[in-house]
Structure formats: structure tokens, C-alpha cells
Structure 1
């Protein structure tokens, strides 16, 4: 059976590429783009930089800067109105994964109407949608190249996975210079998010030779510089490598899907308002340890790509070395556990059954090398709460 591969129609990649945003929007036949971003991008001047390039190309842009971290259905309401009042014919989404996911959602809702929960998995959404030009300012979500938007239902706290070609940006601009001012915590969380995308795409039951090549390239690139960029945000070569790795990992998981880590991560973000990349990092070693028996040779390949093992290392040894390598990485990047982050144990354990159900309902765990039961997912949440102290039993 042939693999179906979906990518943005065009991408501009390299330092200074943002200067081409106006010309790129014009090639789409749009004249009234809405720049969807957040207050931080306004405060740094990035939003006005984009607006200036759009105006220089003879376009009539407007800006909507009320996006929020981990966007909610409530936060989309003002955005839909902004699209309508500006009579926008395209979306230019500028920022991290949250503004880009918001831009995708607004493009779909503005064209088709309805409520965001109407678009959640397992529905596959084909459009129509307004054309989206994605401009990432972080290196991690890969949202600029994916057919997904993740929106939290404000009424239920469910972090909804909304998927399909209708959510895929038409174009993307990847200018690593926009990431040079990222703080170290955001750098770490987004870089680990991209690493999760690549690992999960490679071990996914939907992996293909095409997605394998993207995932392996992303892993090799990110492992070579992630610690260095965390320590020195001005490392231009490292920043460029992480942005390319994020793009490649995004392409990989958009076409091969994610697995159990993301399935379990979304409920953490939805229920405890933890940034997506950080909630992935909290789960990465524990869930990988659970899953390696289902695809030992694949996890061994991942270990070799990251430098945790050599070509001569036995697969079983390499897979186990991967788990330890990921633990050390999270320690070096000062990734907190839910416990050290400040989540109360009682609140965590009370929501474990709900989070396990939400994880399964998202569909992502079905792509995992080992298909987990609800009880196994609950046990993994227990272990992840405080990995150093957990004995795997609920107190």
C-alpha cells in the first residue's frame, strides 16, 4: 500500500527568510492577511517586523495578538471575529506552536463554521480553510509542517487533537534568527518536544521509509547541539540546526503520527496547564522505558542516532542505553517532574483515570509499539509523577 505524504506547498528556509513573507503571501493570491500572534511577539517587535514586510509588498494586513499558551476554544472566539471584521483572505501565524495551532484553527472555523469540538479526532478534516502561512519563532512544535491543531475544550479541559489535510499550512517560513532570543527553559522544552516527535514517528506503527529518513536526520541534528544551545542561546549554528530538526521531526510525525508520549502528554497540559513541550519531556524516559520491548531494534536505531550507542552495540543493550541517555538529557536540561513542578499528588492521582481515558480517546496510543491498556497508562502516570521516588504503585 502506498504511503500518503503531505507537506506545505512551499517553504522558505534560512536566516533572514522573514523578509520574503510579503512576496510569499502575494503568490497565494491574498491581499488582506491577518497576522495571528501573541502579546510577547508584539512586545519584542517581531509582529511589527512581519507587518512591515507585508505592507512593503502592497498588502493590507491586520494583527490579532490575543492568542494564549495552549489555546482553548474560548480563546478562539475573538480570533474568529478578527478574521471576519478584517475580511481576511489568509492567515500568517507567527510564534510558537500555540499561535500556529490557533491560526490553523481560525482558518478552518472561518471557512466552515461550527465549534472546534466538531473537528476533533477521529474525524479527518479536509477543508476548505483559509490559506495559512506559518512562521515559527521556536524550534520544537513543528506545527508549520503538520496537519494537526491541538485545542483545549474550555468546558471539559480535554486537549483535543484535530487532524487532517485541512489543517496543513500552505506555506512556511523558517528563519532561525527569530529564535535567537528564546530563553533557556523554552529552548529546552521545545527542543525535547521535537525530539519526541522524531522518536515517536520512527517507532510508530505508521512509520514509512520517508518518515524514517526525516526522523533520523532530526535526531542526529538535535542531539549534536541541544545542550550547547541550552547553555548559550546565541549559538547561531546550533539554533539553525534545531530549527531544521524541528521541521524534519514535524514532517515525520505529521505523516507517521505520534504515539503514547503525546497521547499521555495532552491530558497533562489540558488539566494542569503545563506547556506542551514540557509535559512531553516529563514523560519521555518513563514511556520510552515501557515501550522499548515492542520495537527493540527501532529504539536501538534511535539510540545510535543520538549517540547513546554505537553501530556495534547489541540492540537490547542499545535500547536500554537510550532510556538512560534520555534520563540524563532531561536532568541536564533541568526538566522538572510533575511533583517538583508543584502539582499536588492528590490532584494528580485524582485525575489519572480521566487522563488515561483522554489519552486513549486521542488515538495516539494505538500507534505505539506496545498497545497499552488503560491500567498500564494509569501506572505510567503514577511513575511519571516523581520518577526518582516512585515504586510504580499508587499511594
Structure 2
């Protein structure tokens, strides 16, 4: 069986990595960028820490910061118009998942205008041309959007999120600079950290997982589990470790897919605006337990990576439960709720949430086959 791996051409890691942005852009022959970010990063000075380097190098750019927390079809269409109006030949995405996802869609449509409706990008769209060249600057330690071929958009008219998977959207250059992550508020550190952990765990157990991605995911679980509590408290060295761990998880799951946690989390964001990482954190231990018997010995490996002692001595059923308990305990220690009712989910919406989760592309990677009624039963159990 052949396995495909798609990664950035170049990635810079470590404090001060943003200083390499002008040289990367100029060295590739680009002349003007559309900088895509969100209002918060534009207002709090984080985006300026990137554009200051562009200013110093005399590199031309226009800023587009009309990206919402769950980027919408309208955000993307406005961004495409801004790219054309700017006369830009490259993109610089600054942010967590939302600006990066919007930036990917802008770049794809600018190069493939027949997808200007945006909705037609859902799933594995048959785009013909690579995205406008994109340099992705991560400002959170969680989404790994800077290294993935996936992006998620929100259709507000239909109250749904949809996932786009396209090898043409991979950023040419990724910048993972923890200096840009230190100022994250506690809630964002927790949410993005739980997102990263979910990426690593689902990537390890998804149906398409294989030896190379297994190595990446297991090490990512180990790094994230050890670093997240301190990173949530603002420890600078732990933030740096989270930056690496989340990128490693992205290297893996981007190429093998995810599973039911993400399929169930996406409609929570579309219906209620639930932060994606928090939705994942609520769902993750429950879905792990649901999938347990279909994951072989992988939950034992996860328990070990989470720091559980003597996992090799435990019967497999107990080892699986130890992994579930370790993830639940980590979430509890960070203040992540354990029930859907605690994040304002409405019980009457559960059937619609289950239908949306069943239709989500991530569901296909789940190790345990599921029907829509299975998902509804699981939603009710977690409620």
C-alpha cells in the first residue's frame, strides 16, 4: 500500500523565527503580500510583530483582518476581493486556525476562481492549480493549520461547518515562533492545547494511520501531555514545547485524517460558537472509550505516552481505560467541562447535531464504524 506525505517546503521553529519572513518572501521572488489575520491580533499588536519585519525590509503588503473566530463564506469572499484589489502575489496568514483557514481558502479561490461560491470546496475539491503561495505564521499552539492540507469554514446560512481537504492549499513556508504565543490568554492556551492533543490521539487511531505518522503522533502526545499544564499557566519553555508538539501532530493527521471527535465537534462550533478545542476536550475521552475495542493496543500506547505508569503490566481492557482516564484527568485539571450541557448544548438539538456529525468528512476515519443513530446515542450519553 502506498502512503502519501505532504508537508511544508520550509518550516522555521523557535523564538525569533519571524525575522526570517522577509528573506523567505523576497528569496522566492514575491513582491507584495496580502496579510490575513483577525481583528484581535491586529488590535493587540501580534500581527504588527510580523509586519514590522516586512516594513524594515521594504516589502509591500496590505492587511486584511476581517476574519471571524469561525471563518465564514463571506469572510473568504471578502478576502479574495481584497487580494485582487491589493495586486498581491502571495499571502501571509497570521493567527491560529481561523485566519489560517480563511487564508487557505482565499489562496485556493484566487488560483481557482471557479470555486468562488466557497461551498464547492467542501470535502476533496477537484482544484486544478496550487494556491497562491502562502506563508503561515502560527500564533497559537494547537491548530497546526500552518502544516495541514485541511481547513474548516462556516456556512452561517445553513448553520454548519464544513471541512475542505486539498493538497493544493499547503503553505509553502511555516513559521512556528513561540514569541507570538506567549501572550495567549489562559482560555486559549487550554482550548488550543486540547485541540492539539485531540489531533495527536485521533491521528494515531484513525483508519489510515501508518508507521511514520504513528511515530509523529505518539511523540506529540508525549510532548503535549507533559507540557500543556505548565503552558496553560504561561510557562515560556512549556509554550515552546507545545508549539513543537502541535506541529508534529499536524504533520501526521493532515496526511491520515481524524475521526469522530472532530466530526462531532464541528457542529458544536456551527450551532453554538463553541471554541473548537473545548468541544474536542469535552468529547475526546468519551469517544476514546466508545472506540476502545476497535483500536487494538493503541490506547495502551497512548496511556504510556500520557505518563501512566506500568502500562505494559495492565490487561488490555484496563490499559485502554487508563488512557481514557488520563485524558479525562488532564482535561479536568485544566477546567474543561465533561458534559455537553456544561457548554450550553441544547438537548433538543442533539438529532440535528448527530446528522451533521455523520455527514462530516472526519467521521470516515473513525476506527469504529458508526451510524447516525450511534452518534445520537453517544451525544445523549455525553449530554
Q: Which of 366, 375, 378 matches 2:376?
A: 378
Task: State how far apart, in whole Å, the 2-side matches of 1:32 and 1:112 are.
Answer: 20
Pair 1:314 & 2:312 matched: no
Show the counterpart of 2:156.
154
Mapping 1:277-356, distance limit 5 Å:
277-309=277-309, 310-336=311-337, 337-343=339-345, 348-356=346-354
Given that 2:35 and 2:64 are in contact with CA atoms closer than 8 Å, whether structure 1 keeps it comes out as: yes
Measure the CA separation in 1 of the matches of 2:37 and 2:128: 24
Q: Which residue of 1 aligns with 2:76?
A: 76
- Structure 1: which 5+ residue stretches go unaligned? 386-395
Counterpart-to-counterpart distance in 2, 1:323 and 1:381: 17
Number of paired residues?
379
Pairing of 1:210-289 with structure 2 (within 5 A):
210-230=212-232, 232-233=233-234, 235-289=235-289
Instruction: Give 2:90's aligned residue.
Output: 90
Please report how far the alpha carbon of residue 74 of structure 1 lies from its aligned counterpart in structure 2 after TM superposition: 1.7
C-alpha separation in 1, matches of 2:99 and 2:179: 18
Given that 1:74 and 1:154 are in contact with CA atoms closer than 8 Å, whether structure 2 keeps it comes out as no
SS in structure 1 at match of 2:312: coil
**What is residue 32 of structure 2 aligned with on the other side?**
32
In 2, Cα distance between equivalents of 1:27 and 1:153: 37
The C-alpha deviation readout for 1:16-62, integer Å capped at 9, x for no partner, is: 00111111112232111111011111122122221121132231111
TM-score relative to the length of structure 2? 0.96
Following the alignment from structure 1 to structure 2, what is the Cα–Cα distance between the partners of residues 223 and 327?
Answer: 12
Calculate the TM-score normalised by the size of structure 1: 0.93
Q: Distance in 2 between matches of 1:49 and 1:216?
A: 33
Please identify, of 361-370 and 80-89, the stretch whose mean Cα deviation from structure 2 is larger: 361-370
Shift of 1:144: 0.5
1:166, 1:180 → 2: CA distance?
31
Partner SS, residue 313 of structure 2: coil
Residue of structure 1 in register with 2:138 after alignment: 136
Deviation at 1:3, TM superposition (A): 0.7
8 Å Cα contact 1:296/1:319 also seen in 2: no
Q: State the 1:122 CA deviation.
A: 4.3
Moved over 4 A (4+): none
Deviation at 1:72, TM superposition (A): 0.9
Give the deviation of 1:299 after TM superposition: 1.2
Q: The residue matched to 2:60 in structure 1 has which SS? A: coil
Shift of 1:326: 1.6
Q: Deviations over 1:109-141 (max 9, x none)?
A: 122122111110143545331011110100000
Deviation at residue 315 of structure 1 after TM alignment: 2.4
Query: CA RMSD, aligned part only?
Result: 1.4
The one-character-per-residue Cα deviations of 1:266-324 (angstroms, maximum 9, x if unpaired) are 11111111111111111111111101110130111111111134333332211111111
